[in-house]
A and B are shown apart, each in its own frame.
Chain A
């Protein structure tokens, strides 16, 4: 006992704080502080240049009764409902094909992730040309112009399809990891019992994939709820606000209409919704004994 252990633990503490200092500065300044600033901003009005004025709940009242915001919430929800189920089903399908483990499976697996690695903005610009009505690739093949991105009924499904195309390879990776983690014995036992391929998929693979499925759905919802780059480049929120998803609305409100307070309100609403989704995920994983995600 005596002085040595105490001195050592003090110097250890100093070293610990010193190692933490840079990242603590970053976390507090760029993640914690902005959450307070956005709440504060939601009670103020600011046009990006002039003075900031306190307006109480004015922004909240104006946003929550605003039809544009309603349209935007509907667009976001519709986008999530189109993208998440489709990318999940296609990802599961692709993973099932890859899990057969034929030669070159690894090559295909890597290839499918390519769109997801690339900049979503660049991908969207690429598709903007492919879908262009007059000199785009699809119109050329069809031999007639189709207004994929400016037709109010087509725009959102088309933007969703481009997003699904980007994400499928990513979703596939998680399902593949999940399928390969299923013990061989269980599959073999089912086979010995005379289960068909479909029965084995339905009654063995699918139930064993539940944690993966849940992970893929939750992360899919959280990222689809924040889609921005793709919408910005493909439609700019149009036509008639049909693709004006919440992240794009926040951007347009703050940096297009210079109504920063209103944008802050929307950001707080988005945060609350995403927090809800994330908490559901945490409760689910808490209940499970093991914490392995994939």
Chain B
């Protein structure tokens, strides 16, 4: 009875796993297939011999630069967003000043503002500021902290014992000292969570970079992949190399931090 039930459960789990993995596997195989083999044999034949030609071909399409730009944009946003979110969350959680609660409600209200709605007005603002197609256009809207991160961090900071902070204060620590030496070490889990979610969502960001950049100079990986796909519609081996490059860093992150990422999703509940 239990044995047959367990077998049925495993069968279900394995079917779902196969359905999840097969598309990735097929894409990966195709990215190592030569264009000639792909066109002359069955598109699903195993690459023989496997070739890196498709990956080398990506260089000509500006992918090297796109990877660097994407990594820089992600790093700057990650650093800015975490730093400024921590600052704001500490002020909201642990300091008292006039207007604090009203301001916090403004932050919470902006959680309801969808990115799809702000793209058009942001475009106008950046165009008027002369910032179209610049590095700043890619990072500015995201680097000053996110209301959601601030909300979560504030909840977390409120659980840090007041005595710890008071003791540091007695020793003459400044607010910044308290944040760096008391609050941050006590908040490792939530910081890892937010860092992972921010990195993943910024690496994958597409609509805003698509709209605000043009040409190769500030092209990010997602935009480069979309552009390659529309330009070389039939060259699937090249296109699959591009999707692999866009996906692999996340898979590496996933293998390294898989459990944390899974936990992060349940905690933050958002992308």
Name A's B-contacting residues (CB within 8 A): 9, 12-13, 15-17, 19-20, 22-27, 29-35, 37-38, 41, 46, 48, 93-94, 97-98, 100, 102, 104-106, 108-123, 125-130, 132, 135-137, 140-141, 165, 168-170, 173-174, 177, 215, 219, 222-223, 226, 228-229, 232-233, 246-247, 250-251, 254-255, 260, 263-264, 267-268, 270-271, 274-275, 278, 293-294
Contact = CB atoms under 8 A, between A and B. Distances in A.
Contact of B98 (A13, A46, A271): A13
A23 B84 contact: yes
Which of under 10, 10 to 19, 20 to 34, or 35 or more describes the interface residues of B? 35 or more
Contacts of A120: 204, 206
B125 A119 contact: no
B19 to A, nearest CB: 7
A274 B19 contact: no
Contact of A41 (B121, B206, B262): B121
B90 A37 contact: no
Contacts of B221: 119
B103 interface: yes
Interface in B1-59: 5-6, 9-10, 12-13, 16-17, 19-21, 23-24, 26-27, 30, 38-39, 42-44
Interface in B86-124: 87-88, 90-92, 95-98, 100, 103, 106-107, 110, 112-124
Contact of B269 (A26, A215, A228): A215
* Leading 5 A-B pairs by shortest Cβ distance: A26-B144, A23-B145, A37-B121, A13-B97, A119-B204
Contacts of A233: 226, 229
A30 B115 CA distance: 10
Contacts of B242: 122, 125
Given A41-B121, A130-B26, A215-B269, A169 B225 contact: no
Interface stretch (B61-69, B158-166, B187-195, B246-254): B246-254
A195 to B, nearest CB: 16
A140 B84 contact: no
B116 A226 contact: yes
A140 B42 CA distance: 7
Nearest to B140: A30
A229 B206 contact: yes
Given A12-B96, A38-B117, A112 B20 contact: yes
Contacts of B122: 30, 34
Interface in B222-269: 222, 225-226, 229, 234, 236, 239-240, 242-243, 246-247, 250-251, 253-254, 258-259, 261-262, 265-266, 269
A255 B207 CA distance: 11
B88 A111 contact: no
Contact of B226 (A116, A121, A250): A121
A31 B147 contact: yes
A118 B161 CA distance: 38
A165 B266 CA distance: 19
Given A32-B110, A122-B222, A170-B265, A108 B17 contact: yes
Contacts of B23: 126-127, 130, 165
B120 A260 contact: yes
Interface in B181-209: 200, 203-204, 206-207
Contacts of A254: 119-120, 123, 211
Contacts of A263: 120
B45 to A, nearest CB: 9
Contacts of B117: 34-35, 38, 267-268, 270-271, 274
A101 to B, nearest CB: 10
19 contacts: A17-B91, A20-B88, A29-B144, A33-B125, A37-B124, A97-B9, A100-B6, A115-B20, A118-B250, A119-B225, A121-B226, A122-B247, A126-B243, A219-B269, A228-B206, A232-B206, A255-B211, A260-B123, A294-B269
A122 B243 contact: yes
B43 A137 contact: yes
Given A111-B20, A118-B246, A130-B23, 14 more contacts: A15-B175, A16-B100, A20-B87, A30-B122, A35-B113, A97-B12, A100-B6, A102-B6, A109-B262, A120-B204, A121-B204, A168-B16, A260-B120, A270-B116
Contact of A173 (B203, B243, B262, B270): B262
Contacts of A294: 266, 269
Contacts of B253: 117
B120 A264 contact: yes
Given A26-B144, A111-B17, A38 B24 contact: no
B26 A169 contact: no
Given A127-B23, A226-B116, A26 B143 contact: yes
Contact of A111 (B21, B121, B127): B21
Contacts of A274: 112, 114, 117
A41 B10 CA distance: 55
Contacts of B100: 16
A271 B114 contact: yes
Nearest to A22: B84
Contacts of B145: 22-23, 26-27
